[in-house]
Amino acid sequence: MINKKCFAVLSIGILVFILISSTFARSLPPPLVINITSSKTLNGIAGDYVTIEGTITNTGDKPLNDIVTYLSLVDNGTKLPVDLEDWSAEKGLHIGTIDAGQTLPLNWKIHFVKAGTYSLIIIAEAAGYDLPQTSGITQFNVNPKINLNPGQVLPVALGTPVFLIAIMFLLAHRRRVGNE
Amino acid sequence: MKNLTDMTDIIFADNLSKSYGNRKAVDALTLHIREGEIFGFLGPNGAGKTTTIRLLTGILKPDNGVVVIDQLLLSEQKKEVAQAIGVVPESRGFYNWMTAKEYLSFFAHLYGVRDDIDKRVEARLLQVGLLKRKHSMIGTFSLGMRQRLGLARALINNPKILLLDEPTLGLDPQGQEDIQQLLKKLNGDGVTIFLSSHLLNEVTNLCSGIGIINKGKLVAEGTIDELGKMTNLQDKTLTQTFLYLTSNGGERDV
Amino acid sequence: MFKYIWKKELQGELYTWKSMLWLVIASLLFSFTSYLLLTDRELSLLDQTELMLLLSQIIIVVALLIITIDASSIITAEFENATAETIFLAPLSIKDFLLGKFLASLTLWVLLFIVSLPYIIVASSGSHLTMAFIGYTALLGTLGIVGLVAFIFAVSLLLRSTKNTLTTSLITVLVLATPALFSTTLKNNALSQLFSQIDPIDNMFSSLDNVLVDYQTSLLQNWRFILPLVMFCALMFVFLVFAARKFNEEGVIKND
């Protein structure tokens, strides 16, 4: 009798433990490790096109499905997230499935639009998990582009109106002289 | 009634009419002007003088009637008629940025003058007393100078016929005298002149034939003496005759 | 005959400084635009082809506006300054009159285009699209201007008033230009798409986009944009012929 009761309690306990564990497990992020590998080469000048490179590794014992990774960028000056509309053509990468222990490369081509200091993280989501996994924060600088005379525009921008005004006065002078 | 085919008529208008809405500006007007004549065209304000000139030059299209200029039917040979006539119209716009010489040269080209344009331009400017101002801009000209320039333009194509709408308007007495002498000289050279004027002394001095228009109708036509015989007035000057014929509004024929 | 009218108009434009002022204003606008595009910190980060497209659109719009204002008075001024009667007393046909004035308006467009050339060359330097930029701006601009001037002249002959002609012409240009500036998302409905296909300004911009951004530089690749422009010109010429006939019927002096 006592053995049957014990067995029942134990079974229920194990069942509850499994249920709680699986729920708890679902509230955890997926077992992924994300690294930004190009952190040292990210600094640049506004207007540059750079490639953000990274890796994503499945550290769990089962394959993970429907993996989606994306960038998150914050402007350290304004403390506001950056709208990646102009920075990158591809905002999200759909990886698909990563087998247990497998590592896959990640890369995004982005366009440095505005000068400033930025914090970058890569975020990954997997099917069946409510929380995402993130990489560490990488900071980089975008220096301003200063170019007062790109493509020799200044001589044209100043010179053409001045030239036309000179012709105007020349025509007026010729007309005046011709009529005297 | 004169014959349509009278070969001495250099200007012939038959039954010419033009209305603006309900108002008849010119009403069944018939004119015979002989070659070599200086014909004066008189009428009160709004009588239809300017409309008549515009109908004779083709600037306005008539509602009815026919115009024959120098044996050319105006409705079908407008370009040829334009070559034969010189006109000083009522509207006297000029290109103020042009000099007098440039203005006349421009019109000389439009009239198809090709040879010796400069010579012809300077000759016309001399005739109207503007040669010294040939390089001055028209914008600096007085009203009288513009009148003279308009006359020079009318003469630039050596026309057979001149149609003048108040050519001495705005001129001082000396200027009027000079233009009248010029017109006499041109007539002596064979130019027929159709002259619309308010200045009765001018018409008396110049014209061999006179037509009087009132309310769109030709009320009288003839010489000064012939017009005088149409009235019962003792004073048969053109002034009194004109006032009598236009106040009565009747039609007289010789 | 028409060449004397043409010459007179050009002299008038030069000696009254009219066309020179327009050219100076246009060059100042182009200078401001190109300097801003190439030096502003954010604008200068646009792709070069997008810069070129923006500059070409500004050149076309500025030219359309200047020609509209100039052409709206080139005929009506003759009536308002009382010079029409003396001009038409000469043995000059309405055809020669219009052709001379037309060539004068086109000459202003040619001068505007020449003024824009240095800016085009600077903006497109290194892109291998300089000749295409120049060629298509010239072709599309000329077709657009020819159609526009024909329309304005027809309106001038019918209305005989500078104020009314200018108002009508500017409103027309605005009506045609505004939808061309809408993004493709705003042109999703059938009516907008139909209007886009026939709108000459929209077709000019689309062709320039096709050439400068998508590198479709051959005439065959742009024929679907050029054909509506040609048809626009033809339609406006028909309108002009109708207006000229009406003018001949009414006479030079409409009301005494």
Encode pLDDT of C191-245 as tens digits. Answer: 777 888 888 998 999 899 888 888 888 888 889 999 999 999 999 999 999 999 9
The answer to whether B136 contacts A180, with C-beta atoms less than 8 Å apart, is: no
A93/A125 same-domain check: yes
Does residue A93 sit within a domain?
Answer: yes
Q: Are C24 and A164 in contact, with CB atoms under 8 Å apart?
A: yes
Beta bridge partners of B212: B42, B220
Q: How far apart are CA C178 and CA A31, in angstroms?
A: 54
Residue A86 has pLDDT above 80, yes or no: no
In this complex, the residue of C24, C32, C44 whose CB is nearest that of residue A168 is: C24
Does residue A76 sit within a domain?
Answer: yes
The answer to whether B153 contacts C92, with C-beta atoms less than 8 Å apart, is: no
A72/A126 same-domain check: yes
A11/A68 same-domain check: no
Strand ordering across the sheet containing A32-36: A32-36, A49-58, A103-111
| Residue B70 per-residue DSSP state | T
Residue C193 tokens, joined? 């798409």
A3/A64 same-domain check: no
Count of structural domains within chain A: 2
* pLDDT by residue, tens only, chain B of 254 residues: 344 445 578 999 999 999 888 888 899 999 999 999 999 999 888 889 999 999 999 999 899 999 999 999 998 999 999 999 999 998 888 999 999 999 999 999 999 998 899 999 999 999 999 999 999 999 999 988 999 999 999 999 999 999 999 888 888 888 888 889 999 999 999 999 999 987 888 888 889 899 999 888 998 888 888 887 777 766 667 777 787 777 854 444 33
The answer to whether B93 contacts C83, with C-beta atoms less than 8 Å apart, is: yes
| Residue B94 per-residue DSSP state | -
Q: Is the dihedral of CA C215, C218, C219, C220 positive or negative?
A: negative
C249 to chain B: closest CA residue: B61
Which residues of chain A does B99 touch, with a Cβ-Cβ cutoff of 8 Å? 179
Q: How far apart are CA C196 and CA C206, in angstroms?
A: 9
Minimal Cα–Cα distance from A41 to chain C, Å? 21
Q: Which amino acid, residue A74? A: V
Q: How far apart are CA A152 and CA A118, in angstroms?
A: 32
Q: Are A136 and C7 in contact, with CB atoms under 8 Å apart?
A: no
Does residue A169 sit within a domain?
Answer: no
Beta bridge partners of A32: A58
**A55 backbone dihedrals φ, ψ, rounded to 5°:** -135, 155
A73/A61 same-domain check: yes
Q: What is the CATH number of the domain that holds A83?
A: 2.60.40.10
A70/A146 same-domain check: yes
Residue A60 tokens, joined? 């769990």
| Residue C218 per-residue DSSP state | S
Does residue A49 sit within a domain?
Answer: yes
Beta bridge partners of B12: B32, B68
Lowest mean pLDDT among A76-80, A81-85, B166-170, C55-59: A81-85
Does residue A50 sit within a domain?
Answer: yes
Q: How far apart are CA B83 and CA B159, in angstroms?
A: 7
* Top-ranked range on mean pLDDT: pick from A46-50, A172-176, B4-8, B22-26: B22-26
A103-116 tens-digit pLDDT: 999 988 888 877 88
A19/A101 same-domain check: no
Number of inter-chain CB pairs under 8 A, A vs C: 75
B103 to chain C: closest CA residue: C8
B138 to chain A: closest CA residue: A179
Does residue A158 sit within a domain?
Answer: no
The answer to whether B137 contacts A180, with C-beta atoms less than 8 Å apart, is: no
Residue A155 has pLDDT above 60, yes or no: yes
pLDDT band at C112 (very low <50, low <70, confident <90, very high): very high
Minimal Cα–Cα distance from A166 to chain C, Å? 10
Q: How far apart are CA B37 and CA B208, in angstroms?
A: 6
C58-110 tens-digit pLDDT: 999 999 999 999 999 999 999 999 999 999 999 999 999 999 999 999 999 99
| pLDDT for the residue B23 | 86
In this complex, the residue of A114, A150, A164 whose CB is nearest that of residue C44 is: A150
**C156 backbone dihedrals φ, ψ, rounded to 5°:** -60, -45
A4/A76 same-domain check: no
Which residues of chain C does B50 touch, with a Cβ-Cβ cutoff of 8 Å? 256
| pLDDT for the residue C104 | 94
In whole numbers, what is the pLDDT of chain A averaged over residues? 83
A44/A95 same-domain check: yes
Residue A50 has pLDDT above 90, yes or no: no
Number of inter-chain CB pairs under 8 A, A vs B: 6
A12/A45 same-domain check: no
Q: Which residue has the higher pLDDT, B114 or A85?
A: B114
Q: Helices (H), strands (E): how many in chain B?
A: 9, 10
- Taking residue A36's Cβ as centre, other Cβ atoms within 10 Å add up to 21
A41/A10 same-domain check: no
Q: How far apart are CA A118 and CA A87, in angstroms?
A: 13
| pLDDT for the residue A100 | 93
A66/A3 same-domain check: no
Q: Are B77 and B68 in contact, with CB atoms under 8 Å apart?
A: no
**Interface contact B94, partner C, CB < 8 A:** yes
Q: Which domains does chain B have, with CATH numbers?
A: 9-248 (3.40.50.300)
Q: Which amino acid, residue C117? A: L
* Top-ranked range on mean pLDDT: pick from A85-99, C161-175, C205-219: C161-175
Nearest to B216 by CA among B13, B41, B49, B68: B49
Minimal Cα–Cα distance from A163 to chain C, Å? 9
**Interface contact A151, partner C, CB < 8 A:** yes
The answer to whether B137 contacts A179, with C-beta atoms less than 8 Å apart, is: yes
Domain that holds residue A1: 1-28
In this complex, the residue of C11, C81, C88 whose CB is nearest that of residue B93 is: C81
Nearest to C208 by CA among C198, C221, C197: C221
Which residues of chain C does A150 touch, with a Cβ-Cβ cutoff of 8 Å? 38-39, 44
Which residues of chain C does B93 touch, with a Cβ-Cβ cutoff of 8 Å? 78, 81-86
**Interface contact A178, partner C, CB < 8 A:** no
Antiparallel, parallel or unpaired: β A138-143 and A44-45: parallel
Q: Is the dihedral of CA B17, B23, B25, B28 positive or negative?
A: positive
